[in-house]
């Protein structure tokens, strides 16, 4: 029987299949169900910088030093009380999950600015988290701030969180960087042990009757896999970090493709929310069949075999593919 084991952030995972942050990982019951169904690790829902700074404001009546985003963000945030104990709840969940589960429990922080809030990372480690995922969700909407400045701030944030913890640290990236490969390498240089590709950006819509912005949350489709697939293939072997794919994995085919590209972990949220935790078993069995049929002994043997590690000039390769793709169009 092929060995599905994979190493991610230094953990020997039974399979590469991981439950990424979603409401399903937000309760102990949900986490137990995911482990029972075959998840090899779980990422808890993020604790947001805004929640922590809000808590601090409620408690101390003062702004946390350095958390610049809060002053403006507070206008859009729910009332005090909503966030009360967001941190306490997370710490309780981490401790309970560690107690109940045998698989690695990865906590998640979501923020953009360096500030007092990053010291929370230490409390999360103390509560028992096996690793920490830092989600850098940012929409670079200010025309007066250039890419270099924003990237520098993100790198400072990674370094600040790194300085707080000794557990492995992964960074969940957006695909919107001018030079993503360089930023990925810099993130590793300042302390990321792993990269999660990618954050999904939620695109709000307009309501033509109320003329209001309507937040919409649509689950991913399998077509969205292409973006992480390409970037994992480009980064595999070029950055010294574990790589996890997130966005568009809904089947064994999706999981196998990201492994071929060079991923160490295949993360899922939408597929689990749509079809339930049983998706883990289904995908695991189908992966096993595929590996047997194609005479692979293990996931390790498969990993990265379709990456661009050996390509001396990935930029030229990408241009050639682009040209080929456009030329291949035939009217349907």
Ligand X SMILES: Cc1cc2nc3c(=O)[nH]c(=O)nc-3n(C[C@H](O)[C@H](O)[C@H](O)COP(=O)(O)O)c2cc1C
Instruction: Tell me which residues touch ligand X (CB under 6 A).
Output: 20-23, 45-46, 108, 110, 135, 172, 200, 217, 219-220, 224, 246-249, 268-271, 273
Q: How far is the CB of 238 from ligand X (least distance, A)?
A: 22
Which residue's CB is nearer to ligand X, number 63 or number 219?
219
Which residue's CB is nearer to ligand X, number 197 or number 302?
197
Which residue's CB is nearer to ligand X, number 39 or number 296?
39
Helix (H, G, I), strand (E, B) or coil at 268: strand
Which residue's CB is nearer to ligand X, number 114 or number 250?
250
Q: How many CB atoms lie within 10 A of CB 215?
A: 9
Q: How far is the CB of 47 from ligand X (least distance, A)?
A: 8
Q: How far is the CB of 267 from ligand X (least distance, A)?
A: 6
**What are the residues facing 195 on neighbouring strands?**
171, 243
Across 168-274, the runs of DSSP E, i.e. the strands, are 169-173, 194-197, 205-206, 213-214, 242-245, 265-268
Q: How far is the CB of 280 from ligand X (least distance, A)?
A: 12
Which residue's CB is nearer to ligand X, number 67 or number 247?
247
Q: How far is the CB of 53 from ligand X (least distance, A)?
A: 17
Q: How far is the CB of 271 from ligand X (least distance, A)?
A: 6
Which residue's CB is nearer to ligand X, number 151 or number 224?
224
Which residue's CB is nearer to ligand X, number 4 or number 171?
171
Question: Which residues have a Cβ under 8 Å from the Cβ of 121 and sit 6 or more positions away?
Answer: 109, 132, 161, 164, 165
Q: How far is the CB of 226 from ligand X (least distance, A)?
A: 12
Q: How far is the CB of 296 from ligand X (least distance, A)?
A: 24
What separation in angstroms does the CA of 146 have from each of 70, 157, 180, 183?
Answer: 20, 17, 15, 14
Cβ-contact 186, 233 below 8 angstroms: no
Cβ-contact 214, 206 below 8 angstroms: yes
Quote the CA–CA distance of 47 and 107 in Å, as a whole number.
Answer: 8
What separation in angstroms does the CA of 36 have from each of 16, 25, 40, 159, 182?
Answer: 15, 13, 10, 35, 39
Query: What's the per-residue H, E or C state across 71-139?
Result: HHHHHHCCCCCCCCCHHHHHHHHHHHHHHHCCCCEEEEEECCCCCHHHHHHHHHHHHCCCEEEEECCCC
Which residue's CB is nearer to ligand X, number 220 or number 307?
220
What separation in angstroms does the CA of 327 have from each of 25, 30, 138, 160, 230?
Answer: 44, 48, 35, 47, 20
């Amino acid at each position: 029987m092929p060995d599905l084991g994979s190493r991610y952030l230094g953990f020997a995972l039974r399979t590469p299949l991981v439950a990424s942050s979603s409401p399903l990982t937000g309760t102990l019951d949900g986490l137990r169900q995911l482990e029972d169904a075959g998840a090899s690790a779980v990422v808890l829902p993020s604790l947001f910088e805004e929640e922590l700074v809000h808590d601090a404001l409620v408690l101390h009546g003062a702004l946390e030093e350095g958390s610049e985003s809060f002053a403006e963000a507070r206008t859009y945030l729910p009332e005090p009380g909503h966030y009360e104990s967001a941190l306490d709840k997370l710490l309780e969940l981490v401790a309970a999950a560690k107690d109940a589960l045998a698989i690695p429990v990865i906590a998640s922080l979501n923020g953009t600015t360096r500030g007092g809030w990053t010291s929370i990372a230490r409390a999360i480690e103390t509560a028992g988290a096996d690793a920490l995922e830092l989600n850098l969700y940012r929409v670079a909407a200010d025309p007066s701030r250039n890419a270099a400045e924003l990237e520098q701030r993100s790198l400072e944030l990674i370094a600040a969180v790194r300085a707080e913890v000794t557990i492995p640290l992964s960074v969940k990236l957006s695909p919107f960087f001018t030079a993503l490969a360089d930023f990925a390498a810099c993130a590793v240089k300042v302390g990321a042990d792993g990269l999660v590709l990618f954050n999904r950006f939620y695109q709000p819509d307009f309501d033509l009757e109320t003329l209001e912005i309507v937040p919409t949350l649509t689950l991913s489709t399998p077509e969205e896999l292409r973006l992480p697939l390409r970037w994992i293939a480009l980064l595999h072997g070029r950055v010294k970090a574990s790589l996890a794919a997130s966005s568009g994995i809904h089947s064994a085919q999706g999981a196998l493709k990201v492994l071929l590209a060079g991923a160490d972990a295949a993360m899922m949220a939408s597929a689990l929310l749509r079809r339930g935790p049983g998706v883990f078993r289904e995908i695991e069995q189908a992966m096993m069949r595929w590996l047997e049929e194609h005479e692979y002994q293990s996931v390790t043997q498969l990993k990265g075999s379709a990456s661009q590690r050996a390509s001396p000039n990935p930029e030229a390769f990408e241009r050639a593919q682009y040209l080929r793709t456009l030329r291949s169009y035939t009217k349907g």
